[in-house]
Amino acid sequence: MKTYGIVGKNISYSLSPCMHNAAFKMLGMDAEYKIFDIPENKLDDFFSRLRKGEISGCNVTIPYKEKALDYIDKPDNMVKAVGALNTVVNKNGVLEGHNTDFEGFINALTGSAEGDLNFEPGGRSVFVFGAGGAAKTVVFSLLKWSPKAVKKIAITDIDINKAKRLANFVEKQDHSTLITVVGDREQYNDFISKSDLLVNATPCGMKADDPPLFDYRYIHERLFVFDLVYARNTPLVKETRLRGAKAINGLNMLLDQAAEAFECYWVESAEHHDKILTAMKKALIENIKLIGL
Ligand code: NAP
């Protein structure tokens, strides 16, 4: 039996095993997907097991998405740009690093399936709340989107220095997109009114009593909203829809990054993409209910 898994710290809540194990089962594969919840001093050991083939592939999550770069031989282009990965595969002794969060975000943003936003980013203006790991993926996905990148990105975070660091990191690599840091809540209305897309890349909305990110009266009908929180339709998603604008949660992104990672593990499975997504979605929804997120 082949072993796969997700490596991170304090990740007992992870929904990745339910999705991947459902896909293995549906395809009749002799494989299992486990949680490797380990401290940093056990990472050497974990990746040496991966290199020896005891573990065939893994997803990487908080807080090791950047640290894992030290262990791989071949990063893909997105990993090189973002400086973070979420999937490692052992291909004949070579450890390949991938970033499928990128595809997960772009597919849900631009796709037209149920739960996708059907938004075309080229030449548009975007306001991103949050400047952590997920925001970094969002910003780079928007910049690297082909055929045409977004025109403007505004970033804000509770910790404004974090937003500034992300903006500086992006500006070093990209010169065609205007990056602005929004440090003052008073400016939110102005920026939202000029935005085509608003992305929530903060955990705000995960808990029922979270205060709103901004005054929902600023939402206008042309605005598309992508809330990365996947466990529920947050008040942001609901309020946007109530105002006649389009909004999605992070469920399709989560599913898509998992399906893309699965196809990195087992390239031949790409021909079963739709069946894999369906099996993963069913398992994910059942488990979200089960753990009562
Ligand atoms: P993170 O690294 O902790 O980054 C979140 C950032 O948002 C932090 O800098 C945080 O500041 C800031 N923040 C929190 N509340 C804020 C507010 N009200 N206004 C402005 N900034 C605020 O977390 P992450 O890994 O990027 O994840 C962010 C969210 O995306 C989580 O809900 C996660 O579940 C979701 N996510 C979804 C997917 C998916 O596939 N759908 C993938 C990745 C992440 P502090 O650190 O000071 O609190």
Q: What is the pLDDT of residue 147?
A: 80
Query: pLDDT above 90 covers what percent of the chain?
Result: 81
Look at the chain and count its residues. Answer: 293
* Catalytic residue positions, numbered: 65
Q: What is the pLDDT of residue 292?
A: 56
Residue 181 in this model has a pLDDT that exceeds 60: yes
The model's pTM: 0.91
Q: Which atom of ligand 1 is nearest to the CA of 162?
A: 9
pLDDT per position as a tens digit, 27-55: 999 999 999 999 999 999 999 999 999 99
Distance from Cα 63 to the centre of ligand 1, integer Å: 13
14 lines ligand 1 (CB under 6 A): no
pLDDT per position as a tens digit, 204-260: 998 889 999 999 999 999 999 999 998 889 999 999 999 999 999 999 999 999 999
Contact 237, 164 (CB under 8 A): no
Host H or E run for residue 99: none
Q: Which atom of ligand 1 is nearest to the CA of 253?
A: 40
Distance from Cα 203 to the centre of ligand 1, integer Å: 4
CA gyration radius, the chain: 19
pLDDT per position as a tens digit, 61-93: 989 998 999 999 999 988 998 888 999 999 999
Q: Which atom of ligand 1 is nearest to the CA of 62?
A: 25
Q: What is the pLDDT of residue 272?
A: 86
Q: What is the pLDDT of residue 290?
A: 64
Mean pLDDT of the chain: 93
58 lines ligand 1 (CB under 6 A): no
Residue 293 in this model has a pLDDT that exceeds 60: no
Host H or E run for residue 85: none
**Nearest Cα residue to 17 out of 74, 79, 59:** 59
Q: What 3-state DSSP class applies to 50?
A: helix
CA gap 234, 207 in Å, rounded: 9
CA gap 194, 248 in Å, rounded: 20
Residue 193 in this model has a pLDDT that exceeds 70: yes
Please state, in angstroms and as integers, the Cα–Cα distance from residue 21 to each residue in 5, 35, 120, following that order: 10, 12, 33
Q: What 3-state DSSP class applies to 112?
A: coil
82 lines ligand 1 (CB under 6 A): no
Q: Which atom of ligand 1 is nearest to the CA of 211?
A: 18
Domains in the chain, please, with CATH?
2-99+252-291 (3.40.50.10860), 103-249 (3.40.50.720)
**Nearest Cα residue to 140 out of 199, 194, 87:** 199
Contact 248, 88 (CB under 8 A): no
204 lines ligand 1 (CB under 6 A): yes
164, 165, 199, 202: residue to mutate for ligand 1 pocket, most atoms within 8 A of CB: 202
Distance from Cα 2 to the centre of ligand 1, integer Å: 33
* Residue in the structure block whose two tokens are 């949660």: 249
Output phi, psi for 182, to 5 deg: -100, 110
